[in-house]
A and B are shown apart, each in its own frame.
Chain A
Amino acid sequence: GAVVSQHPSWVICKSGTSVKIECRSLDFQATTMFWYRQFPKQSLMLMATSNEGSKATYEQGVEKDKFLINHASLTLSTLTVTSAHPEDSSFYICSAYTGTSGVLTDTQYFGPGTRLTVL
């Protein structure tokens, strides 16, 4: 099946620093990648939709200048949390979408997630 990787799997950083998280689709090309954030005991909240070669579309309430998304190729998207603060500590999950809705039942494949802790 389709595999999506994330790196790093966990990261601890100091307040005020920036952290980059990579999301890669390993054996397929993803037309779209989604970035989610999940706080403890809560569900996944969509942060932004990323399409290769174009600007990301952010959900309401998500600061685009704080959460920088770059989708340089059909297999790589990165999320950079700039000037991180303790309230940004969360589980960040990406997913890659093949865009073949109706052909495959599960066309959105999730990465394993990145646990970010900001001290």
Chain B
Amino acid sequence: GQNIDQPTEMTATEGAIVQINCTYQTSGFNGLFWYQQHAGEAPTFLSYNVLDGLEEKGRFSSFLSRSKGYSYLLLKELQMKDSASYLCAVREPLGKLIFGQGTELSVKP
């Protein structure tokens, strides 16, 4: 079956660093994606991992351990505009994305 877990909500302070964890158990695996979604809008792509290790992209980094079924998204130098929902998604071999329930991040001044 498919099971993707992430915390429901997190709070962090502007300028700080926050790590959002995601664990998964899926029948197929062809990459793990992180998306950002603001209320009422479609998700926007943040990062992608298919091999183990860390991928860095500006203020955002994502890590993957396939053997542990684990990923995290790291956001540095938090800004107020980073307040959003962050979705972890596993891509199956035929391209289908299975989403976690999303983590609602609130950035406080």
Binding site for B on A (CB under 8 A): 32, 34, 41-46, 49, 91, 93, 95, 97, 99, 101-102, 105-108, 110-113, 115
Do A46 and B42 have beta carbons less than 8 Å apart? no
Q: Given contact pairs A43-B99, A44-B99, A101-B30, enumerate 17 new A-B contacts (beta carbons under 8 Å).
A: A32-B95, A34-B96, A42-B101, A43-B100, A43-B101, A44-B43, A44-B87, A46-B96, A49-B94, A91-B40, A106-B45, A106-B48, A108-B95, A110-B43, A113-B40, A113-B41, A115-B40
CB distance from A36 to the nearest CB of B (A): 8
Do A49 and B42 have beta carbons less than 8 Å apart? no
B74 proximal to A (CB < 8 A): no
- The CA-CA distance from A105 to B47 in the complex, in Å, is 8
Chain B residues with CB below 8 A from A106, complex form:
33, 45, 48
Question: Chain B: how many interface residues by the 8 Å CB criterion?
Answer: 24
Chain A residues with CB below 8 A from B48, complex form:
105-106
Do A46 and B45 have beta carbons less than 8 Å apart? no
B84 proximal to A (CB < 8 A): no
CB distance from A79 to the nearest CB of B (A): 15
Binding site for A on B (CB under 8 A): 30-31, 33, 40-45, 48, 50, 87, 91, 93-102, 104
5 nearest A-B pairs in the assembled complex, by CB-CB distance: A105-B48, A110-B42, A106-B45, A43-B102, A97-B95
- The CA-CA distance from A49 to B101 in the complex, in Å, is 20
CB distance from A60 to the nearest CB of B (A): 11
- The CA-CA distance from A106 to B100 in the complex, in Å, is 18
Closest residue on chain B to residue A45 by CB atoms: B99
* Given A42-B101, A43-B100, A43-B102: A111 in contact with B95 (beta carbons within 8 A): no
* Given A43-B87, A44-B87, A101-B30: A113 in contact with B96 (beta carbons within 8 A): no
- The CA-CA distance from A49 to B31 in the complex, in Å, is 18
Chain B residues with CB below 8 A from A105, complex form:
48
Chain A residues with CB below 8 A from B102, complex form:
42-43
